[in-house]
Structure 1
Amino acid sequence: MLEDLTIKDFALIDSVSIEFPRGFTVLSGETGAGKSILIGALSFLLGGKSDAQMIRSPSHEASVSGTFLLGGKSEGAKDDVPKALQTSLVEEEAVTAEAWLLQHGIESDDGRVLVRRTLRDSGKSSAWIQSTPVTRADLASFSALLVDIHGQHDHQSLMRVVQHRVFLDARAGITEEVRRFTALYAELVEKRKLLEELNASSEERERKIEMYSFAVNEIREAKLKADEDVLLAEEEGRLSSYEKLASDIDTIVNMLSDNETSAVSILKQVRRDASHALEMDKTLSDLDSRVESAFYEVSDIAEEFSAYKDKLVFDPARLVEVQERLSLIYNLKKKYASSPSAPLSEVLEYAAEAEENLERLGAGTADKASLEKEAAETERRVYTAAKALSEKRKAAGDAMSKEVESVLVNLGMKGTRFSVRVEEKPGSGAVQKCGPYGMDNVEFLISANPGSPLLPLAQIASGGELSRVMLALKTIFAETDPVSTLVFDEIDTGIGGEVAVSVGSHLKNLAKNRQILCITHLASIAVYADNQIKIEKAVSNGKTSSECRSVRGEERVKEIARMLSGENSNESLEHARSMLERFGKIG
């Protein structure tokens, strides 16, 4: 859910910070007060398009940030996908915010995530999720799992056809069954892949066996050790620089201890003199101790350098041996690593992969007949399971269509038809006809007017109709949809009376399990809200700005009265108070 929103220098908004509680919150205010600007700022934060004209003059940058409290994990998290299919399902969209963060290596703070976006007057925008910079596309992908803004076509999770199958499966109660099917399908894909390799031409198969065998033997014979190239390069550097190294060490030894003017000799004399001075002045005790420590430390250093000098021997044979070994490793990297400068581990990894490939090819010993029998049995099981899933989806789709249509009647859309289209994927054979989630393509269709054909949801024209259709769907999916914050704009377009009361009641019920934000001009919807935020214009120093504040108690009664009649007469105030007491709450 959205916990707070901070907006600075965006359109008419100078600086606003708003906290959004749980439940049903309405945003109200007179026409032109800035309600749409607030939603525009939220849409901008969620990855919507930007325009430098959004920046409040004379500022050079607009910024919007929001804190979101995440929910739990559901289908789509990476751990739910069998390992054998993780590579082939890279393009599958995560359907929870937690799964998205996991896939992108971003951590939340105890379930809270800070999203921030800025816009410069140059037209450049920047975005962050936590402290990680992200592209606008990534921001939109993530935020679509947090918030749905209804009333526009460009930001609704139910507009993405890929989600329809997930929603239907959750409604049908077959999510776990689908996961088991995905694992079975992965098993079939694995067997088919091995069969394809075994069915490859004998010449191609032998060529692969020869190539992998040669690579394995060559790398094995080299007897490589981890990080060996790094250690050898360091040793080569020492051996190649022997003359300069020996000269430097000889100079160091001479300066430290090999003559009367050496450091050790001088410190020895200083130690003797300091000892005599101490006999005359006991306050020199600490300095005398430090001189003694320095003498022993330098003496020890001198001895170690001298020992190093005695062991330092030029070994041209070892230098040749090291250089030959480095040349061998260089050639192996050129063949089996991404580049000659790549880590030696890449060569070892290639050897391991080559051994696996040899084992898969079986060097001509794989039991092809047995594998074909296993694949055929697995294919039969896949097709049977896919068929069972399809039947359950069709049954659930029919039931869901009737549920949605029933809700739409109460929302003033009598005569609207809703359908869940479940069609088998084209192709033949279990592998071609099925996918990781079954054999069905699932899509939601709608006909908003009697006599009109059923069309995809995205083709609905009216913002008010779209919002009410989404409200009906969200009512049906309340327990399974991972998106926790719903924003309804234009939901009261073309409605009033009993329909508006029904819409308000539906929003209040939906808010039991979701956070609902709703812009409305209708008091009959606003009175159902748990919270109310008033947006109004103010003029300061000759500049107009939009301000937001929560209204409670008598202040809320006055705002409801204004929505009812445009004034705060005794009659409208009393009517507003009675409506709040009956349908919502005053304080």
Structure 2
Amino acid sequence: MLTELHISGLGVIQDAVIEPHPGLTVVTGETGAGKTMVVTALGLLTGGRGDAGRVRTGADRAVVEARIAGPLAAGPLRVLDAVGGTADEDGSVILVRSVGADGRSRAHIGGRSAPLSTLSEITDPLIVVHGQSEAISLLRGPAQRAVLDRFAGSDRDLTAYRAARSQWQAAVADLADRTSNARERAQREQMLRLGLDEIDKIDPKPAEDVELIAEVRRLENADALRAGAQAALDALTGEAMPDGANAVSLIQGARKVLESAGDERLETLAAQLHAVSAVLVDSASDLTGFLGELDADPERMESLLSRQSVLRGLTRRYGADVDAVLEWRGQAQAELQSLDSSDEALTQLRDRVGSLAEVVAGAATALTRRRRTAAKKLGEEATQELVHLAMGRATLLVNVTHRPAEAEAADAVRIGKSWVVAGADGVDHVEFAMVAHHGAPELPIAKGASGGELSRVMLALEVVLAASDPVATMVFDEVDAGVGGRAATEIGRRLAMLARDHQVIVVTHLAQVAAFADRHYLVDAGPGDAVGSSAVREVSGTQRELELARMLGGTDGVTARAHAADLLTAAVAKRKRSKTSTSRT
């Protein structure tokens, strides 16, 4: 989780350090003081867009530095290793994101420079930021499907479906190409077959051209080679040498002398000379064979030159050398199989498309079944959470329906008696809908929920998803917008519940929410609310009561402070009761 956040040169914050609590941390402050800059900083850390307008006036750059406690999970650890970053001795990792006044962004992971996309890869499993824009994203179908899949644990079914769909789509594309481009494919097939026939008729062997060159050069120099080889053979075994001496006889004579000396050391040397003698005899035999080959076939040169000419014809058309020609032949043979547009080949391919479509339909059905089972449960549990978030009369529904398709469509599969669209994420259309109160019409949340209600729906879903959500740190920007009183207290209690399993950071303007915090930070503007003088500091004890009193009524009088103290006491009591009821459950 996040153990330290250092912000400098960002918006109105010159320099600030926040050490979030493992549980619930709140950030408060006057409107315009810059408390949202904390959320902005975390957004930059998770790979958000860097805006030069966020850089503090007069600063060269804005820098956000975070320390993530270790050890990291397998996914982020692989990313760290990939960029060459290192963790500290305690296993923690430092992440840095900077945005220059010129708009240029940089990222560092574990002390090494890294692309922004890589920064997102390492933070996505660790931190999620929920602001107004994230709540608005819940209006889109893909985001709603992703929430449902998180709750359903659909990863395995979705992976199986995508693998089957990928094979099916490849077969469909192959069939379409073979049938729609028949003339071009036939021409290409004819050209490949002519080339293969020519190569097969000549039947070149690997590296044959290189061997031919060597042999031609040898025959061209036959006289000089013959003279040199004969001279060497005579030196080894020839009788024409003075006094009949030759290398083999001299070595053998020296060996016999050493063997007869009766000395162990000389006998060892004699054995070595015996081995040398054997090598000389073998060399003489090889020279004899070489001379025989030179004289074996006087017409060999003409045959070699003719073969070279034939091979050059191949290399002019199909490759730089014989090995490249053979490589072309292999590729052409493989391509011919894919170009086969015969009736038999098309029938086989149609059968394959049909069988793969059935596999896709089966995988899609399993995925739909899991989603629909989870959708009912998710809607019921989220509705129960809305009771505590000032939306007690509302009902959240998660609808999973199929997307109809025409039978002729390239991405259509048949499930039962219906044709449906088989998209990358399945055949389902997932839509979150809301019934505002009993008797009200069912409307998509895009039409039936206000901005504040969307934030609370998001919070309700996060509470429900908490047990299955792998993200360690959750950040909420004014999730309490548009509520107050008892509803605000319930939102604070819900955030505190969420903080039992996750690290939660909340920017809030409500004292009822702030009272539940394990750690409270105040973003405080300087004298006269001067731009650029905001500071971030932790408040506790009396200072925290003063801040809650300000949030309640804008004063620090005795009554307001007493109200703030009561609020803190009540929050502690509510948290204890929640823990007790949860443990009994």
The TM-score bracket by the shorter chain reads: 0.5 to 0.7
* Alignment partner of 2:573 out of 557, 561, 582: 582
Structure 1 position 67, deviation (Å): 3.9
Alignment of 1:448-463 (within 5 A): 451=440, 454-455=443-444, 457=446, 461-462=450-451
Structure 1 position 536, deviation (Å): 1.9
Please tell me the residue identity of whatever aligns with 2:96.
Answer: R
Q: Verify the 8 A CA contact 1:148 1:483 in the aligned structure 2.
A: yes
Aligned-partner Cα distance in 2 for 1:114–1:349: 50
Aligned-partner Cα distance in 1 for 2:199–2:388: 74
Structure 1 position 217, deviation (Å): 7.8
Q: Verify the 8 A CA contact 1:144 1:156 in the aligned structure 2.
A: no
CA offsets per residue over residues 72-113 of structure 1, 9 Å max, x none? 57xxxxxxxxxxxxxxxxxxxxxx8789x59x9646646866
2:115 aligned with 1:124: no
Q: Verify the 8 A CA contact 1:148 1:157 in the aligned structure 2.
A: no
* Alignment partner of 2:400 out of 407, 410, 422: 422
Structure 1 position 212, deviation (Å): 4.3
Aligned-partner Cα distance in 1 for 2:436–2:500: 28
2:1 aligned with 1:7: no
Q: In structure 1, list runs of 5 or more residues that go unmatched.
A: 74-95, 229-321, 336-343
Structure 1 position 440, deviation (Å): 1.4
Alignment of 1:146-165 (within 5 A): 146-153=126-133, 158=138, 161-165=141-145
Structure 1 stretch displaced more, 152-161 or 433-442: 152-161
Please tell me the residue identity of whatever aligns with 1:382.
Answer: V
Aligned-partner Cα distance in 2 for 1:415–1:330: 82
Q: Verify the 8 A CA contact 1:561 1:575 in the aligned structure 2.
A: no
Q: Verify the 8 A CA contact 1:386 1:438 in the aligned structure 2.
A: yes
Match of 2:361 in 1: 383
Match of 1:567 in 2: 556
Match of 1:175 in 2: 155
Aligned-partner Cα distance in 1 for 2:340–2:391: 65
Structure 1 position 471, deviation (Å): 0.3
Aligned-partner Cα distance in 2 for 1:21–1:219: 74
Change (3 A) 1:554 1:327: farther
Change (3 A) 1:363 1:478: same
* Alignment partner of 1:501 out of 481, 484, 489: 489
Match of 2:256 in 1: none
Change (3 A) 1:519 1:193: closer
* Alignment partner of 2:389 out of 404, 407, 411: 411
> Secondary structure of the residue that 1:492 maps to in structure 2?
coil
In the comparison of the two structures, how many residue pairs are matched? Answer: 453
Structure 1 position 518, deviation (Å): 0.7
Alignment of 1:334-373 (within 5 A): 353-361=331-339, 368-373=346-351
Alignment of 1:164-563 (within 5 A): 164-196=144-176, 199=179, 203-213=183-193, 353-361=331-339, 368-429=346-407, 431-432=411-412, 433-446=421-434, 451=440, 454-455=443-444, 457=446, 461-462=450-451, 464-538=452-526, 545-552=533-540, 555-557=543-545, 559-560=547-548, 562-563=550-551
Alignment of 1:40-119 (within 5 A): 40-48=40-48, 51-68=51-68, 72=73, 101=79, 106=83, 109=86, 114-119=94-99
Q: Verify the 8 A CA contact 1:12 1:544 in the aligned structure 2.
A: yes
Change (3 A) 1:354 1:418: farther
> Secondary structure of the residue that 1:545 maps to in structure 2?
coil
Please tell me the residue identity of whatever aligns with 2:97.
Answer: R
Structure 1 position 14, deviation (Å): 1.5
Superposition RMSD on alpha carbons, in Å? 4.7
Structure 1 position 550, deviation (Å): 2.9
Q: Verify the 8 A CA contact 2:42 2:129 in the aligned structure 1.
A: no
Aligned-partner Cα distance in 2 for 1:224–1:67: 59
Match of 1:19 in 2: 19
Identity of aligned residues (%): 29
CA offsets per residue over residues 453-497 of structure 1, 9 Å max, x none? 6235599542x3222111011122223344433222222333233
Match of 1:78 in 2: none
Aligned-partner Cα distance in 1 for 2:185–2:339: 8
CA offsets per residue over residues 13-49 of structure 1, 9 Å max, x none? 1212222232211112344433123323333444555
CA offsets per residue over residues 398-426 of structure 1, 9 Å max, x none? 33223222211210023334332423234
Please tell me the residue identity of whatever aligns with 1:507.
Answer: L
Change (3 A) 1:511 1:356: farther
Change (3 A) 1:491 1:143: same
Structure 1 position 507, deviation (Å): 0.8
Structure 1 stretch displaced more, 397-406 or 357-366: 357-366
Q: Verify the 8 A CA contact 1:7 1:16 in the aligned structure 2.
A: yes
Structure 1 position 183, deviation (Å): 3.0
Q: Verify the 8 A CA contact 1:538 1:547 in the aligned structure 2.
A: yes
> Secondary structure of the residue that 1:443 maps to in structure 2?
strand
Change (3 A) 1:211 1:496: same
Please tell me the residue identity of whatever aligns with 2:40.
Answer: G
Q: Under a length normalisation based on structure 1, what TM-score does the superposition of the two structures give?
A: 0.63
Aligned-partner Cα distance in 2 for 1:349–1:5: 58
Aligned-partner Cα distance in 1 for 2:105–2:447: 29
Please tell me the residue identity of whatever aligns with 1:488.
Answer: F
Structure 1 position 209, deviation (Å): 2.9
CA offsets per residue over residues 335-390 of structure 1, 9 Å max, x none? 9xxxxxxxx99x99876654433344469696554554454344334324423433
Q: Verify the 8 A CA contact 1:26 1:520 in the aligned structure 2.
A: yes
Aligned-partner Cα distance in 2 for 1:427–1:48: 37
Q: Under a length normalisation based on structure 2, what TM-score does the superposition of the two structures give?
A: 0.63
Structure 1 position 543, deviation (Å): 8.2
Aligned-partner Cα distance in 2 for 1:351–1:165: 49
Q: Verify the 8 A CA contact 1:159 1:458 in the aligned structure 2.
A: no
Q: Which has the larger radius of gyration?
A: 2
Q: Verify the 8 A CA contact 2:478 2:509 in the aligned structure 1.
A: no
> Secondary structure of the residue that 2:391 maps to in structure 1?
coil
